A and B are shown apart, each in its own frame.
Chain A
Amino acid sequence: AQKVTQAQTEISVVEKEDVTLDCVYETRDTTYYLFWYKQPPSGELVFLIRRNSFDEQNEISGRYSWNFQKSTSSFNFTITASQVVDSAVYFCALSGTNTGNQFYFGTGTSLTVIP
């Protein structure tokens, strides 16, 4: 079964604080992709990152960083020095090679950054 769990429904932080969004996944595929998408209040889902299951290197892009650990089936997302513009709903998603191109989304984490 393919499943993505985002246990944190809502998070509030004060501006400039760091925040980590958790994502845990289940898959039987040996090759799969993991994704993070951002959905700001405007509603459009914006792609942030894709990670191949064979690449466990952590990645940093500006204030964003991602920690992929196959041993715990987790793909966590950290925002450093959060800003008000980071306020959005963030979705983690999974796509496995054995399920064609079907994407499985978590229920999302709503992040509010308080100025």
Chain B
Amino acid sequence: EAGVVQSPRYKIIEKKQPVAFWCNPISGHNTLYWYRQNLGQGPELLIRYENEEAVDDSQLPKDRFSAERLKGVDSTLKIQPAELGDSAVYLCASSLTGVLAGANVLTFGAGSRLTVL
């Protein structure tokens, strides 16, 4: 079974440029998360989707960040324009929400490392 797939793995851009990250979750996982991980820190939630609905985007800087999960499967996270402080690893994770065995466990992708110059 394929895991959570993210692309690109690495991205280097100049400040004020746009950037987009893509995530394909595990098949059948209804919940999708975008996290940001700064160096030496734990993951911090940006947005969480239940199917195609964004149910928690309180930590998403909406002036420059946007996300979508069309058809409740894969998702895109966009930053426009990027700032120096956006340099981080952007992690996508998915989970199966419910009471089944194995539910509510986050499976992470390899992450997209963004460097803003």
Contacts and interface: CB of A to CB of B under 8 A. Distances in A.
Interface of A: 4, 33, 35, 37, 42-47, 50, 91, 93, 95, 100-103, 105-108
A28 B12 CA distance: 41
11 contacts: A4-B42, A42-B110, A43-B110, A44-B111, A45-B91, A100-B48, A100-B55, A105-B42, A105-B43, A107-B40, A108-B40
Given A100-B56, A101-B48, A101-B97, A45 B105 contact: no
A100 B58 CA distance: 14
B42 A35 contact: no
Contacts of A105: 42-44
Interface string B34-47: 00000011111100
A106 B48 contact: no
Contacts, number: 57
Contacts of B33: 103
A91 B42 contact: yes
Contact of A47 (B44, B105, B113): B105
B108 A45 contact: yes
Contacts of A33: 104
Interface of B is mostly: strand
B52 to A, nearest CB: 16
B110 A95 contact: no
A103 B45 contact: yes
B95 interface: yes
Given A50-B104, A101-B97, A107 B45 contact: no
Given A43-B89, A44-B111, A45-B91, A102 B56 contact: yes
A71 B42 CA distance: 25
A103 to B, nearest CB: 6
Interface in B60-116: 89, 91, 93, 95, 97, 104-111, 113
Nearest to B56: A102
A95 B42 CA distance: 15
Contacts of A95: 104
